Amino acid sequence: MVLILALAPVAVNGQQAQSASSSSRYQAPVLSAGDTSKLKGPRQPIFFRHDIHAGQDQIPCMYCHYSASVSSEPGIPSLQTCMGCHQLIGGTPPSHQAEIKKVRDAWRERKPPEWIRVHALPGFVRFPHMRHIKALGTNACVTCHGDVQHTTQISQVSTLRMGWCVRCHIKNNVTRDCSVCHY
């Protein structure tokens, strides 16, 4: 309880506070219901926290988004992947336990959660993830998806508009040929 109170202010602007203290291992804030309502981005059916998984527990992105480095689509983890850990890990704070319970229920009912899509491109755009990761490295995710490791709830950080893509292509001096993305 005390802990929660102590951390509450951090939680609200957790990102900045944490990325500052890079020396010590990142501690994702514990949030109360009030704080979570303030967060940017859509509220997913299960309150999945990248800052805990990717930041605190330092699970590599590719562990869940398994195909990002080999395919055009990054892939989202199957429920099986979640259960791989959450068979055992039940979470300490009640808020966490509640969310993890949802995962287990979903697994029991064979009914995967319907995640709300955050990063979507129009149908006439091709974005081969693997080529970008090949070129920019496995940590390149942040260039488009933002500092996911320290983000509690995912929201779209870059415009994903054409000009945004093109500027980056110009910066990195790679092709601007239309038919690379549009066909």
Partner 1 sequence: MAEQGSPVRVTYDYVTRTIARTLGTPSRGYFLLLGAAVALLGVGIITLLFLLRYGLGLAGYSHPVYWAVFITCFVFWVGIAHSGTLISAILFLFRSGWRTAVYRTAEAMTVFAVMTAGLFPLIHIGRQWYFYWLIPYPNERGLWPNFKSPLIWDEFAIGTYFTVSTLFLIMGLIPDIAAVRDLATGWRKKLYALTSIGWTGSNEQWRHYTRGYLYLAALATPLVLSVHSVVSWDFAMALVPGWHATIFAPYFVAGAIYSGCGMVITLLTPIRKIFGLEEIITVKHFENLAKLCLLTGSIVGYAYACEYFMAWYSGNPTERAAFWYRAFGPYWWATWTMIICNGFLPLLLWFKKIRTNITALFVISIFVNIGMWFERYVIIVVSLAGEPYEPWANAVYNPTWADWGIMAGSFGWFFMWFLLFVKNFPAVSISEVKEVLAPPRGKASKAHV
Partner 2 sequence: MTDSLDRRRFLKVLGVTGAGAAALSSCGIGPEPTERLIPYLIQPEDQIPGTATYYATTCRECAAGCGVRVRIREGRAVKLEGNPDSPINRGRLCARGQAGLQGLYNPDRIAHPLVRNANGTFDDIDWDGAIQRLAAKVRESQGKGIVFLTGAEQSTFGDLVDEWMKQVGGRRMSYEPFGFEALRAGNRMAFGTASLPSYDFGNAKYLISFGADFLDTWLSPVEFQNGFSQAHAFDAGRPASMAKFVFVGPRMSLTGMNADEWIAARPGTEGTLALAMAQVILSQHLARVPADASRLVSVLGAYSPSAVAQAIGIDAGTIVRLAREFARSGGGLAVAGGMAAQYPNAAEIVAAVNILNYVVGSVGSLVKFGADLAIGSTNTFADLTSLTTDMTAGHVGLLFIHGANPAHSLPGAFQQALAKVGYKVSFSSYMDETAAACDLILPDHHALEQWGDSRPRAGVIALQQPVVQPVFDTRPTGDVILKLSGKSGTFQDYLQGKWRTRRPKGFDQYWFDALAKGGIYGDAPTRAVRLAQGVSKISFGPLVAPAVQDQQVIVFPHPALHDGRGANKPWLQELPDPVSKIAWHSWVEVHPDTAAKWGIATGDFLLLKSSFGAQKFPAWITRSVRPDVLAVPTGQGHTAYGRYAKDRSANAFELLGAQATTYGGRSFIVSASATKTGEHRKIVTTEGSPRERGRGTVEVLGLARAKALHPGEAPFHHEETPEYASDAVAWWAERQHEKAEIGNYKGEQPRWGLAIDLSKCTGCAACVTACYAENNIATVGEELMQRGREMSWMRLERYWLTDEHGEPQGAVNSPMLCQQCGNAPCEPVCPVYAAYHTPDGLNGQVYNRCVGTRYCSNNCPYKVRYFNWYNYAERGGQYEAFPEPLSMLLNPDVTVREKGVMEKCTFCVQRIRGAQNQARLENRAVRDGDIVTACQQTCPSEAIIFGDLNDKRSQVYELAGNPRGYHVLAGLNTKPAITYLARVVAQDTPSHG
State the residues that interact with partner 1 by CB under 8 A.
161-163, 166
Which of partner 1, partner 2, none interacts with 163 (beta carbon under 5 to 8 A by kind)?
A: partner 1
Nearer Cβ to partner 1, position 121 or 162?
A: 162
Tell me how far apart the alpha carbons of residues 143 and 109 are, in angstroms, rounded to a whole number.
37
Interface contacts to partner 2, rule CB under 8 A: 66-67, 70-81, 107, 110, 112-117, 120-126, 128-131, 134, 175-180, 182-183
Q: For the chain, give the longest Cα–Cα distance.
A: 57
Distances in whole angstroms, Cα of residue 46 to Cα of each of 22, 102, 144: 28, 7, 23
- Shortest reach from residue 182's CB to partner 2, in Å: 5
- Shortest reach from residue 159's CB to partner 1, in Å: 8
Three-state DSSP at 122 gives coil
Which of partner 1, partner 2, none interacts with 110 (beta carbon under 5 to 8 A by kind)?
A: partner 2
Nearer Cβ to partner 2, position 25 or 171?
A: 171
* Tally of CB atoms within 10 A around 59: 15
Q: Tokens at residue 29, please? A: 């804030």
Which of partner 1, partner 2, none interacts with 161 (beta carbon under 5 to 8 A by kind)?
A: partner 1
Distances in whole angstroms, Cα of residue 7 to Cα of each of 27, 32, 74, 131, 154: 10, 10, 34, 40, 20
- Spatial contact of 169 and 175, defined as CB atoms under 8 Å apart: yes
- Shortest reach from residue 161's CB to partner 1, in Å: 6
- Shortest reach from residue 162's CB to partner 1, in Å: 4
Nearer Cβ to partner 1, position 76 or 162?
A: 162
Nearer Cβ to partner 2, position 29 or 74?
A: 74
* Tally of CB atoms within 10 A around 91: 14
Tell me how far apart the alpha carbons of residues 64 and 59 are, in angstroms, rounded to a whole number.
9
- Shortest reach from residue 176's CB to partner 1, in Å: 9
Nearer Cβ to partner 1, position 134 or 161?
A: 161
